[in-house]
C-alpha cells in the first residue's frame, strides 16, 4: 500500500506551468529525495502536496484519502507535516509554543495531554538545544536552531510523512550534517517517511534512499540515490546536456 | 481649572474606548488582513439591540430592562453574533481577495448595517438608560469624579487582562497568535483556519458590545452614528500601532486618547472645536515619519 | 515605445463614445422637457464627474482613497465663497477676508477657480500622503476626509459650521453640467494616456519592475492625486450650484460610499467603467427612490421603507465584489465595434500582468 501517490499532477501560476503532469508513489517509511536545478518545480510540487496550492490537474492521494485541492489543515490532519522553505518559525512565539502549535489537531482525544508531554520530551531529547532555549523567542534563534525547531515542530504532529523543503538552505556545512544526523536518527526510531527537496544531489547520495531528479516541471530520473548519483545520465540531466 | 487627576482620568477613559476599538480591528486584521470598516456599525447595532424597532421619538425599551448581569452578556453576545454572521455571510468569500477589495466590502457592509438600523429606528438619536447607577459622581482623592469614568477604565483593564490570558494561556490563543503571524504555516500544522477566524470575529464583536455599553451609559443615547467617530480613531490607532500588532493597537489607542485630551486643554479656546482635526493632522505627520507605525511589529513590516 | 500620435488614435474612441452617451442623455432630457427629470440628470452628471475624478487616482494608481469627497467639499465651499451675494456673505460668513466678501463672480468663472483651490489642497495633502502605500495610505486618506469635515463643521465664521450655507446662485440649465462632465472625461483620458498616467499604471501592475526602471511612484501618484482633486473639486463647485445650499455633512461618508460603489460596480480601473457604473447605479437609485415614495400598482400602494435604497446599494456592491471583483468593465474600455477584435489581441498580453496563482489558499 502506498502512503502518497501522485498521478499526473500539474501546478500552474497564472500562465506559468511549474509542474507538468508528475506521477509517482511513495511507500510507508520511505525516504525520497527530490533534486533538480532552480525553477525545476520541486517546491511547487511540495506546495501542491501540502495543499498550499491547488493543483490545476491530476490527483493526489495520502493514506488512501483523495487530498487533491483539500485545505492545508485537512492534509496535515491526515498525517502530512510540512517543513517549508525558509523555515518559517513563528518568531514572536516561544520555542515551546512553536512546538505546541501543531498538537491541537489531536486535542480532546484520550490521553492527549500526556502524549503532548511525551512528544515534547522526545523532541527535546532529539534536539537538546531546544530544551535549553524553550522559553526564548523563536525569532532569536540561529538559523540552524530554527531548522531544528521546525523539524521538531513538524514531529509534534506525529506525522506519517514529513515533507521538507531545502533543509540545508543557508546553513553552514557542519550544521547541515547535524540536521541530517537527526533526520536519519528519527527515521530509525519511528515509522516516518521523508520527502526531502534539495537542490544538490550530494546530500541524497550520502544519506541514501530513493532519488528523483526534476527539471522543467517534469521528473527525468527516478531510482536509488547512490546508483543514480554516479550515473552519466544524472550528470547530463542535471546540467541539461542533451534533451530527454 | 480642572485638576490633574481629572485630566488623567479623561485621557484614560477616552483612551480606553479607542484602545478597545483598535483591539477589535487589530484582532481581525491579524488573522485575515481585513480592515473592518463595519466595526463601528456593529457597535451601533449592539446599542439598538436593547430597543424594540420603532421610528417614534420615545424608544420602546426591550432588552434594556434586563438586570445588569443579564444585560451585559446579552449585549456582548449580540456583538459577537453579528460579527460572526458578517464573517459567515460576507467575509468568508473574500478570503483570497486583496486588502483593498476587502476594505470596500466591509465599508459596504457597514452601510448596510447602518441603514438597516435607520430603517427600523429612524436617524433620530434616542435616549436610553443603561446602567443608570454609573452616572453618579464619586469622591476620589478629594476630587469629585464620575463613577462611570472609573468603571470604564477598570473594565478596559479587565478586558485587556482577560484577552492576554486567553491569548497566552489557552490553546485557542496559541493558535490565534500563530495564525496572526503566519497563517499558511499555522494551517500546515493543522490549525483550522475557519475556527480561528470565527473566534477572532467573535472576540472583536464582543469588544464592540463592550464599547456600546460604555458609550451608551456615557451619553445616555442610542445614535446610529455613535460608532463612527470612535472607529476612525481606532483605525488610526491600529495603523500607528503597527498593523497586526495587538499590543501596539492598545498602546496607540491610549496614546491617541492622551493626545486628544491634552490638546483639549492645551489648545486656545477658539481652536478647541478643531481638536480632532489637529489629532488627524498629527497622525498623518506621524505616518510620514514612520509609515509602518510607531510600534510596528516584525510581522507587520514583512507582510504589509 | 509607442509614439504619442498612435496612442491617441488607438484610445480616442473611449472619450468620444462616453461623451456621445452623455450628449444623448442630455438631448433626450431636453426633448422630454420635464423639470424633475432635468434635475435628476444634473445629479447623474455630477456623479459622473465625481466618479471619473475618483477613477483618475484610484483606477490608475491602484491605491484606494476614501478622502476625495474632502476635495468635493473644498470645491463646493470655495464656489460658495466666490459666487454668493456679498451682503449675505458679510452676514453669514463674517470671518472671510474682506476682498473675498466683496467678490462676486459668475459661476463659470468661479467653478474652475474653486476646483483649482481643491487641487492646491490635493497637492499639499498629496505631498504627505503619496509617500504612504497600501492600507496605511487608505486610512490616511480617511483621516484627511475626517479632518476636512471636522474643520468645515466647526469653523463657523468661514464655513458657517454645520448650518447650511444658502444663497449660492442656482444653475438649472443642463448644458453647463454636460460640458463639465465631458471635460472631466476628456481630462481623465488625457491623463491616462499621458506619460505620467502610463507610468502610474505600469507601477500599479508591476511595482517592482517599475521602480527598477526608474519610475518615481510617489511623484506619479501625486500628479494623479492633484488632477483627480481638481476634477472632484469641480464636481463640488457645480454641486453647490445645482442645489444652492451646502453643508459639510453632505460631503462625507454617504457621498464617499455612493461614489466608491459606482466606481466598484463599473470597474475600478476603467474610465468607461466609471461612467457606466454611474449610469447603471443611478438608474437603480432612481427606481428605489420611486419605490420609497410609493407607487400605485393597480390600486395597491407599493412602498418600501426609507433606507432600503442604501441597503440595496450596499448589497449589490458586496455581490459585485464577490462575484465580479473587477466590475462591469474589468480593465477594458469601450471602443469602436470594428476595432474591438484587434484590441482584444492587444489586450491579451496586458491582462497577464495581474495574474494570480490559480487556487491558492491563504
Q: Which of C352, C355, C357 sits opposite A53 (nearest CB)?
A: C357
Task: Name the percent of chain B lying above pLDDT 70.
Answer: 90
Residue A244 belongs to a domain? no
Report pLDDT for C135. Answer: 80
Residue A216 maps to a domain: yes
Question: Whole-angstrom Cα distance, residue C135 to residue C120?
Answer: 24
Of B38-52, C182-196, C225-239, the poorest mean pLDDT is in: B38-52
Residue C342 has pLDDT above 70, yes or no: no
> Does residue A233 form part of some domain?
yes
pLDDT band at B57 (very low <50, low <70, confident <90, very high): low
What is the reported pLDDT for C348? 43
Cα C230 from Cα C144, distance rounded (Å): 16
Question: What is the dihedral sign for C-alpha B77, B81, B82, B86?
Answer: positive
**C362 touching chain B per CB within 8 A:** yes
- Give, in order, the Cα–Cα distances in Å from B132 to each of B9, B58, B59, B62: 20, 18, 16, 16
Residue A136's nearest CA partner among A102, A100, A96 is: A96
- Express each pLDDT in A192-242 by its tens digit: 899 999 888 888 888 888 999 998 889 988 888 888 877 777 777 666 544
- Residues 6 or more apart from A208 whose CB is under 8 A from it? A31, A224, A225, A226
Contact state of B112 with C318 under an 8 Å Cβ cutoff = yes
Q: Which of residues 4-63 of A touch C (CB under 8 A)?
A: 12-15, 51-54, 56
Asked if the model's pLDDT at residue B139 lies above 80, the reply is no
pLDDT at residue number C350: 41
Residue A96 lies in a domain: no
Considering CB atoms only, which of C129, C135, C257 is closest to B107?
C257
Taking contacts as CB-CB distances below 8 angstroms, the residues of chain A near C352 are 14-15
> What secondary structure letter does DSSP report for C59?
I
**Lowest-confidence region among B18-22, B164-168, C163-167, C288-292:** C288-292
The domain segmentation of chain B, as residue ranges, is 4-226
Segment (H or E) for C162: none
Q: Which of residues 63-122 of A touch C (CB under 8 A)?
A: 69, 71-72
For the cut 90, the answer to whether the pLDDT of residue C145 exceeds it is: yes
Q: Is C6 on the interface with A (CB under 8 A)?
A: no
pLDDT band at C65 (very low <50, low <70, confident <90, very high): very high
Lowest pLDDT segment from A33-47, A216-230, C332-346: C332-346
pTM over 0.95: no
A203 lies in some domain: yes
- pLDDT at position B302 is 36
pLDDT tens-place string over residues B193-252? 889 999 999 999 999 999 998 888 888 888 888 888 788 889 888 888 887 788 889 999
Q: Which three cell numbers, joined as nine digits, stand for C83?
A: 459666487
Nearest CB to B175; choose among A81, A98, A101: A101
Q: Going along chain B, which residue ranges are E strands?
A: 51-52, 60-61, 126-127, 137-140, 143-146, 221-222
Predicted local confidence at residue C343, as pLDDT: 52
List, as ranges, residues 317-356 from C with C-beta within 8 Å of A: 352, 355-356
CB of B176 closer than 8 Å to CB of B200: yes
Q: Tell me, yes or no, whether A13 lies in a domain.
A: yes
Q: Please report, for the domain that includes residue A32, its CATH number.
A: 3.40.50.300
Question: How many domains does chain A fold into?
Answer: 1
| B138 beta partners | B145
Task: List pLDDT tens digits, range B258-304.
Answer: 998 988 888 888 788 888 888 888 888 887 777 777 765 444 333 32
pLDDT for position C353: 37
The pLDDT score that the predictor gives to residue B232 is: 86
CA angle B52, B57, B62 (to 5 degrees): 20
pLDDT value for C173 = 92
pLDDT value at residue A68: 92
Provide the chain B residues 188-247 that lie in CB contact (below 8 A) with chain C: 193, 228, 232, 235-236, 239, 243
Q: Of C183, C181, C198, nearest to C8 (Cα)?
A: C198
Please give the pLDDT value at position B30: 86
Instruction: Report pLDDT for C2.
Output: 52
Chain C, 135 to 174: residues with Cβ < 8 Å from chain B are 135-136, 138-140, 142-144, 146-147, 150-151, 154-155
Q: Which residue from A minimizes the CA distance to C356?
A: A14
Q: Please write down the HEC assignment for all residues of C71-135.
A: HHHHHHHHHHHHHCCHHHHHHHCCCCCHHHHHCCCCHHHHHHHHHHHHHHHHHHHHHHHCCCCHH
Chains that touch A (3 or more CB pairs under 8 A): B, C
Strand partners, C282: none
DSSP structure class, residue B130: S
Query: What average pLDDT does range C40-51 have in this prediction?
Result: 95
pLDDT reported for residue C340: 53
* Whether residue C266 has pLDDT greater than 60: yes
With bands split at pLDDT 50, 70 and 90, how would you rate the model's confidence at A7? very high
Distance separating the N- and C-terminal Cα atoms of chain B: 45
pLDDT at C299: 67
Per-residue HEC secondary structure of chain A comes to CEEEEEEEEEEEECCEEEEEEEEEEEECCCEEEEECCCCCCHHHHHHHHHCCECCCEEEEEECCEECCCCCHHHHHHCCEEEECCCCCCCCCCEHHHHHHHHHHHHCCCCCHHHHHHHHHHHHHHHCHHHHHCCCCEHHHCCHHHHHHHHHHHHHCCCCCEEEEECCCCCCCHHHHHHHHHHHHHHHHHCCCEEEEEECCCHHHHHHCCEEEEEECCEEEEEEEHHHHHHCHHHHHHHHCCCCC
Query: Has residue A46 been placed in a domain?
Result: yes
The whole-number average pLDDT for the span C173-198 is 94
Q: In this predicted structure, what is the pLDDT of residue B263?
A: 87
B246 phi and psi, to 5 degrees? -65, -45
Q: Is C347 a residue whose pLDDT tops 70?
A: no
A147-205 tens-digit pLDDT: 889 999 998 988 999 999 988 887 888 888 888 888 888 887 777 899 999 888 888 88
Would you say the C-alpha torsion C348, C351, C356, C358 has a positive or negative sign? negative
Nearest of A3, A84, A168 to residue B187 by alpha carbon: A84
Q: Which of B239, B242, B111, B28 is nearest to C140 (CA)?
A: B239
Give the pLDDT band (50/70/90) at residue B106: very high
In a domain, A118, yes or no: no
| Chain A neighbors of B181, CB-CB under 8 A | 90-93
Choose, out of A67, A72, A87, A94, the residue to mutate when testing the contact with B (most B CBs < 10 Å). A72
DSSP secondary-structure letter at C266? Answer: H
CA distance C2 to C9: 11
Residue C217: φ, ψ to 5°: -60, -50
Q: What are phi and psi of B68, to 5 degrees?
A: -60, -35
Sequence-distant (≥ 6) Cβ neighbours of residue B38 within 8 angstroms: B86, B106, B107, B109, B110, B113
Give me the mean pLDDT over the A7-26 stretch. Answer: 91
Which position has the grid cell 471635460? C183
ipTM here? 0.89
- C269-308: per-residue pLDDT in tens? 899 999 999 999 999 888 888 887 777 766 666 677 777 8
Using CA atoms of C227, C231, C237, C243 in order, give the dihedral in degrees to the nearest 10: -160
Residue ranges of the domains in chain C? 8-249
| Highest mean pLDDT of the ranges A178-192, B57-71, B82-96, B127-141 | B82-96
Give the confidence band of C125 by pLDDT, cuts at 50, 70, 90.
very high
Average pLDDT along chain B? 84
Amino acid at each position: 500500500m502506498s502512503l502518497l501517490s501522485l498521478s499526473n499532477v500539474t501546478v500552474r501560476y497564472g500562465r506559468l506551468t511549474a509542474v507538468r503532469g508528475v506521477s509517482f508513489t511513495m511507500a510507508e517509511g520511505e525516504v525520497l529525495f527530490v533534486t533538480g536545478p532552480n525553477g525545476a518545480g520541486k517546491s511547487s510540487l511540495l506546495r501542491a502536496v501540502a495543499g498550499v496550492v491547488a493543483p490545476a490537474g491530476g490527483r493526489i492521494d495520502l493514506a488512501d484519502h483523495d487530498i487533491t485541492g483539500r485545505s492545508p489543515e485537512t492534509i496535515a490532519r491526515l498525517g502530512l507535516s510540512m517543513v517549508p522553505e525558509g523555515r518559517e518559525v513563528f518568531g514572536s512565539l516561544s520555542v515551546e509554543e512553536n512546538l505546541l502549535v501543531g498538537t491541537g489537531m489531536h486535542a480532546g482525544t484520550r490521553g492527549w495531554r500526556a502524549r503532548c508531554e511525551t512528544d515534547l520530551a522526545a523532541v527535546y531529547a532529539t534536539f537538546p538545544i531546544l530544551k535549553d532555549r524553550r522559553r526564548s523567542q523563536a525569532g532569536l534563534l540561529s538559523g540552524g536552531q530554527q531548522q531544528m525547531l521546525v523539524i521538531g515542530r513538524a514531529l509534534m504532529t506525529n506525522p506519517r510523512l514529513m515533507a521538507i523543503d531545502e533543509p540545508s538552505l543557508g546553513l553552514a556545512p557542519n550544521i547541515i550534517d547535524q540536521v541530517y544526523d537527526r533526520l536519519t536518527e528519527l527515521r530509525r526510531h519511528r515509522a516516518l517517511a521523508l520527502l526531502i527537496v534539495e537542490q544538490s544531489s550530494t546530500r541524497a547520495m550520502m544519506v541514501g534512499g530513493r532519488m528523483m531528479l526534476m527539471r522543467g516541471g517534469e521528473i527525468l530520473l527516478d531510482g536509488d540515490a547512490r546508483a543514480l548519483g554516479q550515473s552519466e545520465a544524472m550528470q547530463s540531466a542535471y546540467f541539461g546536456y542533451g534533451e530527454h | 481649572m480642572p485638576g490633574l487627576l481629572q485630566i488623567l482620568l479623561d485621557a484614560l477613559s477616552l483612551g480606553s474606548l479607542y484602545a478597545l476599538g483598535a483591539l477589535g480591528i487589530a484582532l481581525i486584521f491579524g488573522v485575515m488582513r481585513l480592515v473592518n470598516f463595519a466595526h463601528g456599525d456593529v457597535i451601533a447595532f449592539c446599542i439598538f439591540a436593547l430597543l424594540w424597532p420603532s421610528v417614534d421619538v420615545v424608544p420602546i425599551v426591550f432588552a434594556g430592562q434586563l438586570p445588569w448581569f443579564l444585560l451585559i452578556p446579552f449585549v456582548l453576545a449580540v456583538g459577537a453574533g453579528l460579527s460572526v454572521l458578517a464573517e459567515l455571510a460576507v467575509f468568508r468569500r473574500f478570503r483570497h481577495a486583496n486588502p483593498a477589495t476587502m476594505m470596500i466590502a466591509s465599508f459596504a457592509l457597514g452601510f448596510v448595517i447602518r441603514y438597516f438600523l435607520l430603517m427600523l429606528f429612524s436617524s433620530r438619536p434616542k435616549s436610553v438608560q443603561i446602567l443608570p447607577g454609573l452616572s453618579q459622581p464619586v469622591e476620589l482623592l478629594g476630587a469629585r469624579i464620575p463613577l462611570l469614568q472609573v468603571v470604564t477604565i477598570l473594565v478596559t483593564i479587565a478586558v485587556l487582562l482577560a484577552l492576554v490570558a486567553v491569548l497566552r494561556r489557552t490553546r485557542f490563543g496559541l493558535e490565534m497568535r500563530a495564525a496572526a503571524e503566519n497563517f499558511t504555516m499555522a494551517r500546515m500544522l493543522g490549525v483550522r483556519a475557519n475556527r480561528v477566524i470565527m473566534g477572532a470575529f467573535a472576540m472583536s464583536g464582543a469588544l464592540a458590545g463592550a464599547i456600546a455599553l460604555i458609550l451608551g451609559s456615557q451619553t445616555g443615547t442610542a445614535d446610529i452614528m455613535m460608532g463612527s467617530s470612535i472607529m476612525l480613531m481606532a483605525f488610526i490607532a491600529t495603523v500607528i500601532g503597527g498593523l497586526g500588532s495587538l499590543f501596539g493597537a492598545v498602546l496607540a489607542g491610549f496614546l491617541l486618547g492622551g493626545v486628544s485630551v491634552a490638546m483639549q486643554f492645551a489648545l486656545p479656546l477658539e481652536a478647541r472645536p478643531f481638536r480632532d482635526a489637529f489629532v488627524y493632522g498629527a497622525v498623518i505627520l506621524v505616518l510620514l515619519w514612520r509609515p509602518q507605525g510607531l510600534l510596528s511589529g516584525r510581522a507587520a513590516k514583512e507582510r504589509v | 515605445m509607442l509614439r504619442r500620435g498612435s496612442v491617441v488614435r488607438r484610445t480616442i474612441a473611449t472619450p468620444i463614445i462616453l461623451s456621445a452617451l452623455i450628449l444623448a442623455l442630455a438631448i433626450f432630457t431636453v426633448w422630454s422637457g420635464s423639470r424633475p427629470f432635468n434635475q435628476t440628470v444634473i445629479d447623474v452628471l455630477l456623479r459622473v464627474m465625481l466618479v471619473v475624478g475618483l477613477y483618475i487616482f484610484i483606477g490608475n494608481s491602484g491605491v484606494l482613497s476614501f478622502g476625495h469627497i474632502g476635495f468635493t467639499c473644498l470645491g463646493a465651499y470655495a464656489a460658495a465663497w466666490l459666487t454668493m451675494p456679498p451682503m449675505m456673505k458679510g452676514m453669514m460668513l463674517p470671518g472671510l477676508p474682506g476682498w473675498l466678501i466683496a467678490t462676486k463672480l459668475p459661476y463659470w468663472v468661479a467653478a474652475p477657480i474653486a476646483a483649482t483651490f481643491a487641487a492646491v489642497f490635493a497637492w499639499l495633502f498629496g505631498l504627505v500622503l503619496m509617500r504612504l502605500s497600501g492600507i496605511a495610505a487608505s486610512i490616511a486618506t480617511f483621516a484627511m476626509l475626517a479632518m476636512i469635515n471636522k474643520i468645515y463643521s466647526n469653523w463657523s465664521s468661514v464655513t458657517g459650521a454645520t448650518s447650511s450655507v444658502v444663497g449660492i446662485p442656482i444653475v438649472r440649465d443642463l448644458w453647463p453640467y454636460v460640458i463639465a462632465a465631458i471635460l472631466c472625461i476628456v481630462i481623465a483620458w488625457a491623463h491616462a494616456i499621458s506619460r505620467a498616467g502610463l507610468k502610474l499604471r505600469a507601477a500599479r501592475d508591476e511595482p517592482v519592475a517599475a521602480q527598477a526602471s526608474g519610475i518615481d511612484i510617489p511623484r506619479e501618484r501625486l500628479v494623479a492625486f492633484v488632477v483627480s482633486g481638481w476634477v472632484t473639486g469641480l464636481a463640488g463647485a457645480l454641486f453647490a450650484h445645482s442645489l444652492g445650499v451646502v453643508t459639510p455633512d453632505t460631503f462625507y461618508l454617504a457621498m464617499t460610499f455612493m461614489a466608491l460603489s459606482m466606481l466598484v460596480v463599473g470597474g475600478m480601473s476603467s474610465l468607461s467603467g466609471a461612467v457606466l457604473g454611474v449610469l447603471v447605479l443611478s438608474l437603480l437609485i432612481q427606481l428605489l427612490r420611486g419605490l420609497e415614495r410609493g407607487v400605485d400598482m393597480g390600486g395597491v400602494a407599493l412602498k418600501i421603507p426609507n433606507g432600503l435604497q442604501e441597503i440595496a446599494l450596499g448589497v449589490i456592491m458586496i455581490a459585485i465584489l464577490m462575484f465580479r471583483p473587477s466590475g462591469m468593465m474589468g480593465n477594458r474600455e469601450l471602443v469602436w465595434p470594428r476595432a474591438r477584435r484587434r484590441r482584444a489581441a492587444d489586450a491579451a498580453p496586458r491582462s497577464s500582468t495581474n495574474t494570480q496563482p490559480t487556487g491558492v489558499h491563504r
